[in-house]
């Protein structure tokens, strides 16, 4: 993330002819008057703008002949803040460049982390800087291909990669532990709607508008499907049956209690935390049922509350009864969860 990569797979085996062509392209760009280059960058389509920016960003190409664009320091700090990085976190930075993201996470937030980078010189620079700042025990940098890196230890993943690489990475990111935070600089993850976004002013940016856009995703638990559980209400045990439909962290569906069913009025999923409510017509009148809990080892575990709805306002509830513990299991526990798209 400390440096935007155009290719993480080229390695040292890139052809000499391709390298000469890239070098020639950079030379031609640098020969243009600065004012003309700035004007062109403003009107180019995004892929062309990125290529031009990458070509100017560094005099020293990576092993594959692809230079990297360092992430501005205000953006580094904003990304760590957006992800709420703390001392219990393990940050993995994919394409770590000079190591500034992982080093800053360790230095200012007490986190641990791993930087993954193909350029051996940058890996050496990063480890040297971590030692100089006294954070080498918490910040490690290794020469690896990001597609061959085990991401499972991460609680936070940081990215500054071109869109085509993000498309390839997205299925792996969705399989990470629920609650893992992913922060991307400038580029979104395809059709996966971010949980939060932000903008950082970068007035001295070398190309494009004078700001950076940040995107945050929280990996959701897999809760799609049919669930069945029980709760206590007025001394009686009742069954609830939930039909959930999931698109990443967006959920909708219906709940059936006794012989009545209703659409979910509110449903939210953040990591492994699920909450929903519904107003159900029953023999005793209209009742607002609500669940708040977590997805744990393939079960929904949490608290169930019931409140009578005032006749004058269908969406206003009277004081609820004390919350009752509840646990739900999938109706077909043997069913394998489909991959999220």
Which residue did the predictor score with more confidence, 189 or 21?
189
**Domain boundaries along the sequence of the chain:** 1-219, 225-330
Taking all residues of the chain, what is their mean pLDDT, rounded to a whole number? Answer: 81
Whether residue 62 has pLDDT greater than 60: no
Whether residue 52 has pLDDT greater than 80: no
pLDDT-based confidence at residue 2 (cuts at 50, 70, 90): low
pLDDT-based confidence at residue 99 (cuts at 50, 70, 90): very high
Which residue did the predictor score with more confidence, 237 or 141?
141
Note the pLDDT of residue 7: 34
Whether residue 290 has pLDDT greater than 80: yes
Note the pLDDT of residue 44: 35
pLDDT-based confidence at residue 197 (cuts at 50, 70, 90): very high
Mean pLDDT is lowest, of 17-26, 85-94, 149-158, for 17-26
Burial class (CB in 10 A: 0-12, 13-18, 19+), 322: exposed
Note the pLDDT of residue 289: 94
Whether residue 31 has pLDDT greater than 50: no
- Tokens found for residue 155: 């609680």
Note the pLDDT of residue 40: 34
| CATH topology classification for 1-219 | Rossmann fold (3.40.50)
Note the pLDDT of residue 286: 87
Mean pLDDT is lowest, of 47-56, 202-211, 239-248, 326-335, for 47-56
The pairing of strands 181-185 and 156-159 is parallel
Note the pLDDT of residue 234: 81
Whether residue 128 has pLDDT greater than 90: yes
Query: For 170-192, how does the pLDDT look when each residue is reduced to its tens digit (9 = 90+)?
Result: 999 999 999 999 999 999 998 89
pLDDT-based confidence at residue 319 (cuts at 50, 70, 90): low
Q: Please compute the mean of the pLDDT values over residues 89-111 and round it to a whole number.
A: 97
Q: 225-330, superfamily in CATH?
A: Avidin-like (2.40.128.30)
pLDDT-based confidence at residue 279 (cuts at 50, 70, 90): very high
Query: For 211-262, how does the pLDDT look when each residue is reduced to its tens digit (9 = 90+)?
Result: 999 999 999 999 999 999 999 988 889 999 999 999 999 999 999 998 899 9
Note the pLDDT of residue 29: 36
């Amino acid at each position: 993330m400390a440096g935007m990569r155009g290719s993480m797979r080229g390695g040292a085996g890139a052809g000499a002819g391709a390298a000469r062509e890239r070098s020639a392209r950079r030379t031609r760009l640098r020969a243009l008057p600065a004012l003309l280059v700035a004007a062109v960058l403003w009107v180019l389509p995004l892929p062309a703008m990125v290529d031009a920016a990458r070509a100017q960003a560094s005099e020293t190409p990576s092993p594959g002949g692809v230079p990297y664009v360092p992430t501005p320091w205000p953006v580094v700090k904003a990304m760590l803040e957006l992800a709420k990085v703390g001392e219990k976190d393990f940050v993995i930075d994919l394409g770590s460049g000079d190591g500034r993201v992982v080093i800053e996470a360790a230095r200012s937030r007490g986190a641990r982390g791993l930087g993954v980078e193909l350029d051996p010189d940058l890996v050496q620079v990063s480890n040297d800087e971590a030692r100089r700042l006294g954070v080498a025990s918490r910040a490690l940098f290794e020469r690896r291909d990001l597609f061959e890196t085990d991401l499972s230890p991460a609680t936070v993943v940081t990215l500054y990669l071109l869109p085509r690489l993000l498309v390839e990475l997205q299925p792996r990111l969705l399989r990470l532990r629920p609650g893992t935070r992913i922060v991307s600089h400038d580029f979104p993850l395809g059709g996966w709607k971010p949980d939060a976004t932000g903008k950082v002013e970068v007035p001295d940016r070398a190309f494009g508008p004078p700001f950076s856009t940040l995107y945050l995703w929280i990996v959701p638990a897999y809760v799609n499907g049919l669930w069945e559980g029980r709760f206590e209400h007025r001394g009686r045990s009742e069954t609830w049956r939930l039909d959930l439909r999931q698109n990443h962290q967006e959920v909708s569906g219906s709940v059936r209690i006794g012989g009545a069913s209703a659409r979910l009025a509110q449903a939210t999923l953040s990591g492994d935390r699920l909450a929903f409510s519904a107003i159900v017509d029953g023999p005793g009148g209209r009742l607002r049922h609500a669940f708040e809990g977590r997805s744990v080892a393939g079960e929904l575990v949490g608290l169930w509350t019931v409140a009578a709805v005032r006749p004058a306002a269908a969406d206003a509830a009277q004081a609820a009864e004390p919350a009752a513990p509840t646990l739900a299991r999938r109706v077909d526990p043997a069913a394998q969860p489909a991959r999220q798209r």
